[in-house]
Amino acid sequence: MKWSMKQIEEHGVEPLKFLQEVDLKQSLIKRESDIIDVSPVKLNGSLLYDNHSVIATFVVEVTVTLPSSRTLEPVQVPLMIDVSERYVEQGYLSQYVEVAKEEIVTVIEENYVDLTETIIDSILLSLPLKVLSQTEQEDDNLPSGNGWVLLTEDAYNMQKQKEAEDNIDPRLAGLKTLLLNEEDEDQSL
């Protein structure tokens, strides 16, 4: 995924369009050990030369296989990522300091624009933290075992709240019976 600045500059005001498929499986697995498998990465986009810089705009389509958060079973996760990044020639970076607040700016090294690292970073940043298979998403029954049970965060918070309500300070237990006795007397009148 490399283009020379000369190739891009020759297109003038017309963007250099590309539609490619690349295999980044080994690079992705090397950077993220949870990845089980990766389909070939499909790229569709363009590179536009703009005053000593190149604006890269493209879409990344890939299917990443990750372990389920609950069962560790392999789950295929399709990703479609929009990427926009500006590559700036070494001596012209200071012109783009203001632009850097709104977009990602990368320095061009060795007079080539290489999208490989940008693609890998975009995929890794788009990986979900919680991965569930379709069955796990539809099924409310969570795994459990001898002396343990898996709870959702909401269920855990409800359990803790119920425990807090049920646990009465022993010093205040006498007050509770006193209040109950007073309520019984009020109702009998």
- Is residue 45 located within the same domain as residue 115? yes
Residues 96 and 105 sit within 8 Å (Cβ to Cβ): yes
- Is residue 97 located within the same domain as residue 184? no
- Is residue 165 located within the same domain as residue 128? no
What token pair was written down for 152? 């959702």
* Reported confidence tier of residue 134, pLDDT bands at 50, 70, 90: confident
- Is residue 170 located within the same domain as residue 100? no
- Is residue 113 located within the same domain as residue 156? no
Report the distance separating Cα 67 and Cα 36, nearest Å: 7
Residue 96 in domain: yes
Task: Compare 129 and 144 and report the one with higher pLDDT.
Answer: 129
Please report the pLDDT score of residue 98 as a whole number: 60
Report the distance separating Cα 1 and Cα 149, nearest Å: 48
- Is residue 128 located within the same domain as residue 165? no
pLDDT of 107 higher than 90: no
- Is residue 11 located within the same domain as residue 68? yes
Secondary structure class of 99 (helix, strand, coil): helix
- Is residue 61 located within the same domain as residue 16? yes
Closest by CA position to 70, among listed 126, 141, 147, 125: 141
Residue 145 in domain: no
Residue 143 in domain: no
Q: Which domain holds residue 171?
A: 151-188
Residue 146 in domain: no
pLDDT of 164 higher than 60: yes
Please report the pLDDT score of residue 101 as a whole number: 62
pLDDT of 28 higher than 80: yes
- Is residue 85 located within the same domain as residue 164? no
CA distances from 51 to 2, 12, 18 (A): 20, 11, 21
Residue 144 in domain: no
Please, what is the average pLDDT of the chain? 85
Question: Average pLDDT for residues 30-47, to the nearest whole number?
Answer: 95
- Is residue 165 located within the same domain as residue 112? no
Helix extents (H) in the chain: 5-10, 25-31, 116-126, 134-138, 153-166, 170-188
Residues 119 and 42 sit within 8 Å (Cβ to Cβ): no
One-letter amino acid at 49 equals Y
* Reported confidence tier of residue 178, pLDDT bands at 50, 70, 90: confident
- Is residue 101 located within the same domain as residue 155? no
* Reported confidence tier of residue 126, pLDDT bands at 50, 70, 90: very high
Handedness of CA 56, 25, 126, 32 (dihedral sign): negative
Tally of structural domains, the chain: 2
Report the distance separating Cα 78 and Cα 94, nearest Å: 38
